[in-house]
Amino acid sequence: MPIEVLMPALSPTMTEGKLAKWLKKEGDQVKSGDVLAEIETDKATMEVEAVDEGRVGKILIAEGTDNVAVNTPIAVLLEEGEDESALSKGGNAPTAAAPAAPAPAPVAEAAPAPAPTVPAAPVAAPASDEDKFMAKTVKKTVREALRDAMAEEMRRDDKVFVMGEEVAQYQGAYKVTQGLLQEFGERRVIDTPITEIGFAGLGVGAAFKGLKPVVEFMTFNFAMQAIDHIINSAAKTLYMSGGQMSNSIVFRGPNGAAARVGAQHSQCYASWYAHCPGLKVVSPWSAADAKGLLKAAIRDANPIVFLENEILYGQSFEVPEDEEFVLPIGKAKIERAGKDVTITAFSIMVGHALAAAEILAKEGIDAEVINLRTIRPLDTETIVNSVKKTNRLVSVEEGWPFAGIGSEMCALMMEQAFDYLDAPVARVAGLDVPMPYAANLEKLALPQVDHIVKAAKQACYR
Amino acid sequence: MAASRRRSTKALTDTAPAQAVSSEELLHYYREMLLIRRFEEKAGQLYGMGLIGGFCHLYIGQEAVVVGVQAALKDGDSVITSYRDHGHMLACGMEAKGVMAELTGRIGGYSKGKGGSMHMFSQEKNFFGGHGIVGGQVPLGTGLAFAHKYSNDGGVAAVYCGDGAINQGQVYESFNMAALWKLPVLFIIENNKYAMGTSQERASAGELHQRGAAYGIPGYQVNGMDVLEVKAAADQWVPHIRGGNGPVILEMKTYRYRGHSMSDPAKYRTKEEVEKMRSESDPIDQLKAKILSGNHADEDKLKEIDREVKAIVTESAEFAQQSPEPDPSELWTDILV
């Protein structure tokens, strides 16, 4: 039986990739361990090795093909004694022939949600100051937008530098800092040892002297090692010094769950950092958010925790071309105007909320979706004004519910919108458990679109 | 053993013959140390009167360390330390009035009364705190050195920590980066023998000045009770650091006469031990004897300095009591820029 070679998943978040190059051609003999092809994932270019022996019978996907979904057959191997006539009989079970690289099938299915369809132009977003920038846009991934933001600010100000693990030579563990070393050199793009509290503290010290560090944490999970300096040194010093000693510093990196990386690598820290005066906490959703907010964060004179999301890195959005597109920190964005129920969300949950709003619309419920963008200082005005109109609030977050952002929303409603509420505030949050590894359990632990739909309907007594 | 001997005080003095110190300099060190001593005694007194609250860690006994190191620094160099910080601030040239008023929590304090004993800063004097988490100042100070190098301004960062902080992991993360990137930083370990109530023998394996050896950081032990030995060591190594050769560690063997903080009864050591240090190794008495025996000044001149210092301290205590408490509106300022 001919053996199908499938497009492998080579990273936890990879759902598709580019078949960059074939290293074997039709008719070549292949032994297990031979490199068959090079594949570009969302993070790197990887070699794919053969697991089975045989002769390349047919190449199904030509080199240079983009967006090849994980598990797509890319070639067929013929076993000893088989000839091309066997090809027509089709391949055998795919699992038997999957390349040696990480487990193929479950990854795509296990992504926390089916990659939310991103509305190219959000439905009925109200007019805003940003509109003039949206006249001329270019499609970029969140990853590229973050990189562009850093590069533009580094060109603008020599005091800005980037440091962290693998940010320079490796080009970023998630390729976010790709190309920065080449443009700015090793003085300003600095690979650190694996030493989070050390380089976080070093960054704050450099900021005391007027530099503007962008400190990348490979993920915010590792920033727990450094949280003493983020809170005790960065957030509190301005106050403790009676206003003398500011520090303009950005701590950035992916936050929250990626896919199938287990409890220690899958936590949302929005509520942790948002708890602390002296910090600003920003969490972008789209590529335009990422660019406009990161530029604002780098220019800001205060310490900023900038919570990104690994799954969003590869998603594309329209981004203004104008380099002066800088979004205000502390201002939420109404992504979709509606009159029946307000849904607040941030980071990847904005996509879920918009998807939920589409479903709700079909059932006659007109949801207003607010992309918080900044968690601290929270744009209470936009939220309260929206609830004054809709009289209902659903708060969505990926993190745990206890003392979470949703709890803060409840308090805000009690204090500032009590008389306008027609239903209890509903919280959609991650389950109150450490993140499980199993694909089915992980999906159950994270908020899904239908949870938001259900919560919104409940708020509307439907 | 040979290697470690080479890095001892003795070898250091062999290779660095003490440079002639002028009478003027000697009197300056005397004045600086006496100012710290009298200031701290007054702070202890005000604490007892309930005018200073919370934690208050006095530097009495350790004065030679900061005065000797400061003598080897230049304008523009940065200084950072832990919470036993009043002496460092005075040595950096910060005003006694502003420091004392911060201790009493008044608007005239360096942090408008919002920082307290452990948290004062001066951009003007390049003093970067005043940090309350043991060891936290070490990566911060390494960052100051990083900024000196990044800006190519020729500056050096003097980073102080105690024999307690030296067991914190972040200190070694800092040593590694400082050595790897050849940052201009002088790490000063003020070994006063007790990390709060735990003696160095009970808390630290090995010799503290050798703690940077694995990173290739030279380390030396210095008699921290003698301002001239401290200055000679700093004079030898600060230019080396400034020259782009990377960090150096100086372990200052010193002693604090008072408890860890005001509420520490210091039961972990004997009265005799303290008394012996006071009577035989006091940094101010030692320098005074040298000044007199070397005819650098007479008793009258020293008394004049005593009076001058006393006046500064008295004035600072008065200011610290007269300066008003911060207005309630200050509660909400300086949270963000």
What string of pLDDT tens digits covers the 337 residues of chain B? 334 444 444 444 444 545 689 999 999 999 999 999 999 999 999 999 999 999 999 999 999 999 999 999 999 999 999 999 999 999 999 999 999 999 999 999 999 999 999 999 999 999 999 999 999 999 999 999 999 999 999 999 999 999 999 999 999 999 999 999 999 999 999 999 999 999 999 999 999 999 999 999 999 999 999 999 999 999 999 999 999 999 999 999 999 999 888 888 888 999 999 999 999 999 999 999 999 999 999 999 999 999 999 999 999 999 999 999 999 999 999 999 9
Q: Determine the distance in angstroms separating the CA of A191 from the nearest CA of chain B, rounded to an integer.
A: 11
**Which residues are registered as beta bridge partners of A69?**
A16
State the CATH number of the domain containing residue B295.
3.40.50.970
In a domain, B198, yes or no: yes
In a domain, B76, yes or no: yes
- The whole-angstrom separation of Cα A412 and Cα A397 is 16
Q: Name, in order, each residue with C-beta under 8 angstroms of B4's C-beta and a sequence gap of 6 or more.
A: B207, B210
Integer Rg of chain A from CA: 24
- The whole-angstrom separation of Cα A380 and Cα B39 is 49
The answer to whether A351 and A118 are in contact (CB under 8 A) is: yes
Length of chain B: 337
pLDDT in tens, A111-156: 444 444 454 444 678 888 888 999 899 999 999 999 999 999 999 9
In a domain, B182, yes or no: yes
Closest CA to B218 of B1, B8, B2: B8
Interface test mutation site (partner A, options B83, B107, B118, B150, max chain A beta carbons within 10 A): B150
Asked if B133's CB is within 8 angstroms of A198's CB, the reply is: no
- Mean pLDDT over all residues of chain A? 91
State mean pLDDT over A412-430.
98
Q: Determine the distance in angstroms separating the CA of A330 from the nearest CA of chain B, rounded to an integer.
A: 13
The answer to whether A242 and B109 are in contact (CB under 8 A) is: yes
CB pairs under 8 A between A and B: 144
Q: Please list every residue in chain A whose beta carbon sits closer than 8 Å to the beta carbon of residue B133.
A: 228, 232
pLDDT grade for A224, boundaries at 50, 70 and 90: very high
Residue of B nearest to A234 (CA): B140
On whether any CB of chain A is under 8 Å from the CB of B112, the answer is: yes
State mean pLDDT over A30-53.
85
What is the pLDDT, as a whole number, of residue A89? 58
Asked if A210's CB is within 8 angstroms of B115's CB, the reply is: no
Rank A44-58, A127-141, A382-396 by mean pLDDT and report only the highest: A382-396
pLDDT at A97 over 60: no
Q: Determine the distance in angstroms separating the CA of A310 from the nearest CA of chain B, rounded to an integer.
A: 27
pLDDT grade for A199, boundaries at 50, 70 and 90: very high
What is the pLDDT, as a whole number, of residue A44? 77
> How many structural domains comprise chain B?
1
Catalytic residue selected from A4, A165, A265, A398: A265
What is the pLDDT, as a whole number, of residue B18? 55
**Which B residues in the span 167-226 are in contact with A, Cβ-Cβ below 8 Å?**
169-170, 173-174, 176-177, 180
pTM for the whole thing? 0.89
pLDDT at A103 over 70: no
In a domain, B147, yes or no: yes
Asked if A240's CB is within 8 angstroms of B111's CB, the reply is: yes
What is the pLDDT, as a whole number, of residue A94? 43
List of domains in chain A: 3-108 (2.40.50.100), 111-462 (3.40.50.970)
What is the pLDDT, as a whole number, of residue A100? 45
Which one of B114, B136, B336 has the shortest CB-CB distance to A201?
B136
**Which residues are registered as beta bridge partners of A18?**
A40
Which one of B80, B109, B177 has the shortest CB-CB distance to A202?
B177
Closest CA to A8 of A99, A129, A85: A99
Interface test mutation site (partner B, options A195, A209, A230, max chain B beta carbons within 10 A): A209
pLDDT grade for A223, boundaries at 50, 70 and 90: very high
The answer to whether A200 and A216 are in contact (CB under 8 A) is: no
User: Over chain B, what HEC string results?
Assistant: CHHHHHCCHHHHHHHCCCCCCCHHHHHHHHHHHHHHHHHHHHHHHHHHCCCCCCCCCCCCCCHHHHHHHHCCCCCCCEEEECCCCHHHHHHCCCCHHHHHHHHCCCCCCCCCCCCCCCCCCECCCCEEEECCCCCCHHHHHHHHHHHHHHHCCCCCEEEEEECCHHHCHHHHHHHHHHHHCCCCEEEEEEECCEECCEEHHHHCCCCHHHCCHHHCCCEEEEECCCHHHHHHHHHHHHHHHHHHHCCEEEEEECCCCCCCCCCCCCCCCCHHHHHHHHHHHCHHHHHHHHHHHCCCCCHHHHHHHHHHHHHHHHHHHHHHHHCCCCCHHHHHCCCCC
Q: Which residues of A touch B (CB under 8 A)?
A: 161, 187, 192-193, 195, 197-211, 228-229, 232-233, 237-246, 248, 277-278, 280, 301-302
Asked if B336's CB is within 8 angstroms of A302's CB, the reply is: yes
Beta strands A367-371 and A333-336 are antiparallel
Q: Which domain holds residue B79?
A: 2-316
Closest CA to A404 of A448, A372, A436, A382: A372
Q: Please list every residue in chain B whose beta carbon sits closer than 8 Å to the beta carbon of residue A192.
A: 177
Q: Please list every residue in chain B whose beta carbon sits closer than 8 Å to the beta carbon of residue A248.
A: 337
pLDDT at A107 over 70: no
In a domain, B187, yes or no: yes
Q: Determine the distance in angstroms separating the CA of B194 from the nearest CA of chain A, rounded to an integer.
A: 24
What is the pLDDT, as a whole number, of residue A96? 40
Whether A196 is a known active-site residue: answer yes
Question: Is the pLDDT higher at A449 or at A6?
Answer: A449
What is the pLDDT, as a whole number, of residue A115? 47
- The whole-angstrom separation of Cα B59 and Cα A246 is 27
In a domain, B311, yes or no: yes
Which one of A195, A211, A280 has the shortest CB-CB distance to B147?
A211
Whether A358 is a known active-site residue: answer no
Asked if A242's CB is within 8 angstroms of B140's CB, the reply is: no
In a domain, B58, yes or no: yes
Rank A42-51, A52-61, B147-156 by mean pLDDT and report only the highest: B147-156
What is the pLDDT, as a whole number, of residue B19? 64
Which one of B130, B144, B180 has the shortest CB-CB distance to A209?
B144
Residue of B nearest to A160 (CA): B150
Q: Determine the distance in angstroms separating the CA of A313 from the nearest CA of chain B, rounded to an integer.
A: 30
Position A331: which residue type? Answer: K
**Which B residues in the span 69-98 are in contact with A, Cβ-Cβ below 8 Å?**
78, 80
On whether any CB of chain A is under 8 Å from the CB of B140, the answer is: yes
Asked if A241's CB is within 8 angstroms of B139's CB, the reply is: no
Integer Rg of chain B from CA: 19
- The whole-angstrom separation of Cα B262 and Cα B116 is 14
pLDDT grade for A16, boundaries at 50, 70 and 90: confident
Tokens of A95: 């699992």
Catalytic residue selected from A196, A308, A368, A408: A196
Tokens of A191: 């690979």
In a domain, B323, yes or no: no
Q: Please list every residue in chain B whose beta carbon sits closer than 8 Å to the beta carbon of residue A199.
A: 139, 173, 177
What is the pLDDT, as a whole number, of residue A113? 44
What is the pLDDT, as a whole number, of residue B70? 98
What is the pLDDT, as a whole number, of residue A126? 83
Length of chain A: 462
The answer to whether A140 and A166 are in contact (CB under 8 A) is: no
Residue of A nearest to B149 (CA): A187
